[in-house]
Amino acid sequence: MLLTGATGFIGTALIPVLLAKGFEVHAVARKAFSPPPGNIITHSVDLMDLAARRALVKSVAPPYCLHLAWNAIPGRYLTTRENLLWTAATLGLYHDFVTCGGRRFLGVGSCAEYDWSYDGLLKEADTPYRPSTLYGSAKEASHRLLQESALLDGVSFAWAHLFFTYGPGESPGRLVSDIARGCLNGEVVPTSLGTQIRDYMYVKDVANALTCLLDGQVEGTVNVASGIARPVSEVILAVSEAAGRPDLVELGGRESPVEEPQSLVADVNRLRNEVGYEPSYTLIEGVCETVNWWRSQIRND
Amino acid sequence: MLLTGATGFIGTALIPVLLAKGFEVHAVARKAFSPPPGNIITHSVDLMDLAARRALVKSVAPPYCLHLAWNAIPGRYLTTRENLLWTAATLGLYHDFVTCGGRRFLGVGSCAEYDWSYDGLLKEADTPYRPSTLYGSAKEASHRLLQESALLDGVSFAWAHLFFTYGPGESPGRLVSDIARGCLNGEVVPTSLGTQIRDYMYVKDVANALTCLLDGQVEGTVNVASGIARPVSEVILAVSEAAGRPDLVELGGRESPVEEPQSLVADVNRLRNEVGYEPSYTLIEGVCETVNWWRSQIRND
């Protein structure tokens, strides 16, 4: 199978799971990298470069593709026009994959594709797609075009909507990473009041769920999320307590981003009943592993 | 200004109009070609090739771009996954254009972006976008992403919905081209009953309208069409009469494509009142020029 974005936050967590599942992994990233041991071949390829991408797909001729690569730089990814290029790379990758005999393509989208004014759990078949950011629109356009093409091409296609993923290796500038680092470094961390309700999932659960989805036959869109509605303040508290410094958190010391919806929580019936996946980490377990990872990073600095 | 698809059906008609309007035209096509005389520079570039495309846009740094290039091969264009690559090239071209200081981008879409089950004239602001073909979806996704990005980028953006364009240089395999050629060659031409209602516009009117739109300041989507609801049989008759052989047309000798809507006609209030364009060719004038062109082609064979 072909894995793009292999060195990213989710890609890093995915590789051991894919290997354990018995996949031969062709892992792609822009820059050269050292893979973990196992049945894995790395490729250093810029997926935006049509000739290089096509040569890669032709040489590997993977039956499966899990496509993660995208721009997700905190603070920029919602509005940068670079995501037009990632949309282009996604469409091109799918095209080349099918042309080279690929059988099942799993793309990774976002809860940002849904209509955020929808009242209730966000559900694949029911909630309208009405993105309110360029990022959401780019993901939604990719997902729709690939889904329609896959129907014509006779290719198995699935698309995961990720919600809020946290864990080791997350970029700084995100909620969990910033609180973990701040508390471990002994710095005051101003946060929003944390009254928004969000659906958080530990990155290892995300990796397990994506592998399960890839390895199965479920087609179409699937929420890859916990289904648990949590006030963000609960996550803030859990992280700061795992870091041993809840006193450093200044709840309400920072304004909530404007135009953010009050609640973003997934209906996970498809993931649970059709894909057959249940998360195995509690919030406390996930947060403790994450904080321990940050601790090891800070020690290594 | 940068013109893509310069050697295509509409591109060929556009070049003299753009030159007459005073534009310096950088005309792009995949293969090398000889331009008409005037203030025109040709570029032979594959727009799907990121490096080549970027080098072109960087060297020209055009303030205006009119992007026509796409796959429109009769019988294939509605379903081919090659249009995923044209979507990719369109997003990439816009990205490079803006990055190099471009100021106004005019893209060319289709009536296939609209919901064909809509009752009434198809209108930019009112008719939902609900394409029923991959081609329509690809055009609509391109238009929506570019429109959203342009808003963030502070770039002037317009998107033309073309309806049914005919004229010299149209590909064989289309209604007007097939009847003109068939009648001039003395062959029987089976057609549908022609009871469907369509909006036909002569290619020189399309070229004039696009130039007018590019040269103005109207933003967003604009139907570039006649606004005239004609039974297709009227077009069939006009072409066969201009070719002098209405007897060769076998109305009803061919089934209508399934799933085609009964009526596809544009509301042209934006084109007329905001862009300020009125078509200047009657159907008979356009058809006569077209048939004469086919006559010259057949003679030259």
Q: How confident is the model at residue B50 (pLDDT cuts 50, 70, 90)?
A: very high
Domain assignment present for A192: no
What does the pLDDT look like over B4-22, one tens digit per residue? Answer: 999 999 999 999 999 999 9
CA pair distance A96, B13, nearest whole angstrom: 34
CA pair distance A46, A31, nearest whole angstrom: 8
Question: Across-strand partners of A43?
Answer: A28
Q: Which residues of B touch A50 (CB under 8 A)?
A: 48-50
- Residue B87 forms contact with A (CB below 8 Å): yes
- Residue B94 forms contact with A (CB below 8 Å): yes
Task: Retrieve residue B117's tokens.
Answer: 């089950």
Crossing angle of helices B203-215 and B9-20, rounded to 10°: 50
Q: What percentage of chain B exceeds 70 in pLDDT?
A: 99
Average pLDDT rounded to a whole number, residues B122-130: 95
Answer yes or no: are the C-beta atoms of B287 and B246 closer than 8 Å: no
Q: Closest Cα partner for A206 from A116, A292, A280?
A: A280
Count other Cβ atoms within 10 Å, centred on residue B297. Answer: 14
Task: Retrieve residue A31's tokens.
Answer: 């820059």
Task: Retrieve residue A114's tokens.
Answer: 């849904």
A85: nearest CB among B84, B95, B153 = B95
Residue A259: predicted pLDDT: 75
Shortest distance between the Cα of B32 and any Cα of chain A, in A, equals 21
- Residue A85 forms contact with B (CB below 8 Å): yes
Tokens 């200004």 locate to: B1
* Domain tally, chain A: 1
Q: Which residues of A touch B129 (CB under 8 A)?
A: none
Please give the backbone phi and psi of residue A196, each rounded to the nearest 5 degrees, phi first: -65, 150
Residue B255: predicted pLDDT: 86
**Burial call A165-196: b when 16+ CB within 10 Å, e when fewer:** bbbbbbeeebbbbbbbbbbbeeeebebbebeb
* Per-residue pLDDT at B202 exceeds 80: yes
Interface residue of B50, B67, B71 to substitute, partner A, most A CBs within 10 Å: B50
A144: nearest CB among B48, B141, B146 = B141
Domain assignment present for A102: yes
- Residue B85 forms contact with A (CB below 8 Å): yes
* Per-residue pLDDT at B218 exceeds 90: yes
Sign of the Cα torsion A195, A201, A203, A206 reads negative
* Per-residue pLDDT at B263 exceeds 90: yes
Average pLDDT rounded to a whole number, residues B32-58: 95
Q: Which residues of A touch B146 (CB under 8 A)?
A: 84
Widest distance between CA atoms in chain B: 57
> Looking at per-residue confidence, does A242 or B32 come out higher?
A242
Shortest distance between the Cα of A180 and any Cα of chain B, in A, equals 33
Helix intervals (H) in B100-189: 134-153, 175-184
CA pair distance B239, B122, nearest whole angstrom: 26
Q: Which residue of B has its CA nearest to A94?
A: B84
Backbone Cα Rg of chain A:
19
Residue B243: predicted pLDDT: 97
> Looking at per-residue confidence, does B66 or B37 come out higher?
B66
Interface residue of B82, B132, B148, B152 to substitute, partner A, most A CBs within 10 Å: B148
Helix (H) or strand (E) holding A187: none
**Burial call B88-97: b when 16+ CB within 10 Å, e when fewer:** bbbbbbbbbb
Domain assignment present for B287: no
Q: Closest Cα partner for A135 from A199, A71, A68?
A: A71
Answer yes or no: are the C-beta atoms of A271 and A205 closer than 8 Å: no
What does the pLDDT look like over B139-190, one tens digit per residue? Answer: 999 999 999 999 999 999 999 999 999 999 999 999 999 999 999 999 999 9
Shortest distance between the Cα of A77 and any Cα of chain B, in A, equals 12
Q: Which residues of A touch B91 (CB under 8 A)?
A: 84-85, 87-88
* Per-residue pLDDT at B76 exceeds 90: no
CA pair distance B207, B202, nearest whole angstrom: 9
Question: Are B149 and A81 within 8 A, CB to CB?
Answer: yes
Q: Which residues of A touch B86 (CB under 8 A)?
A: none
Residue B27: predicted pLDDT: 98
Side-chain half-sphere of B262: how many Cα atoms within 13 Å?
4
* Per-residue pLDDT at B135 exceeds 80: yes
- Give Cα B15 distance to the centre of its chain: 14
Task: Retrieve residue A181's tokens.
Answer: 């680092």
Task: Retrieve residue A168's tokens.
Answer: 């080791």
Question: Are B148 and A134 within 8 A, CB to CB?
Answer: yes
B84: nearest CB among A51, A94, A137 = A94
Question: Are A81 and B88 within 8 A, CB to CB?
Answer: no
CB-count burial class (<10 Å; 0-12, 13-18, 19+) for A202:
buried
Considering only A247-261, B94-108, B269-283, which range has the smallest mean pLDDT? A247-261
* Per-residue pLDDT at B207 exceeds 90: yes
- Residue B55 forms contact with A (CB below 8 Å): no
B84: nearest CB among A49, A82, A91 = A91
Q: Which residues of A touch B92 (CB under 8 A)?
A: 84-85, 88
Residue A257: predicted pLDDT: 73
Backbone Cα Rg of chain B:
19
Residue B119: predicted pLDDT: 86
Q: Which residues of B touch A147 (CB under 8 A)?
A: none
- Residue A79 forms contact with B (CB below 8 Å): yes
Answer yes or no: are the C-beta atoms of B181 and B74 closer than 8 Å: no
Domain assignment present for A286: no
Domain assignment present for A151: yes
Nearest 5°: the CA angle B232, B236, B240 is 170
- Residue A49 forms contact with B (CB below 8 Å): yes
CA pair distance B14, A136, nearest whole angstrom: 36
CB contact set of B279 (below 8 Å; sequence gap of 6+): B201, B202, B205, B209, B226
Average pLDDT rounded to a whole number, residues B98-111: 98
Shortest distance between the Cα of B293 and any Cα of chain A, in A, equals 37
The pTM is what? 0.95
Answer yes or no: are the C-beta atoms of B208 and B280 closer than 8 Å: yes
Domain assignment present for A216: yes
Q: Which ipTM did the prediction report?
A: 0.93
- For A:97-116, CB contacts with B below 8 A are 98
Answer yes or no: are the C-beta atoms of A226 and A274 closer than 8 Å: no
Residue A75: predicted pLDDT: 81
Answer yes or no: are the C-beta atoms of A172 and A15 closer than 8 Å: no
Q: Which residue of A has its CA nearest to B132?
A: A148
Domain assignment present for B62: yes
Residue A289: predicted pLDDT: 98
- Residue A45 forms contact with B (CB below 8 Å): no
- Cβ pairs bridging A and B (under 8 Å): 78
pLDDT < 70 regions, chain A: 301
Q: Which residue of A has its CA nearest to B138?
A: A145
Q: Which residue of B has its CA nearest to A146?
A: B84
Boundaries of domain holding A51: 2-167+201-229+263-281
Tokens 């290594």 locate to: A300
Task: Retrieve residue B219's tokens.
Answer: 């933003």
Domain assignment present for B252: no
Q: Which domain CATH number covers B204?
A: 3.40.50.720
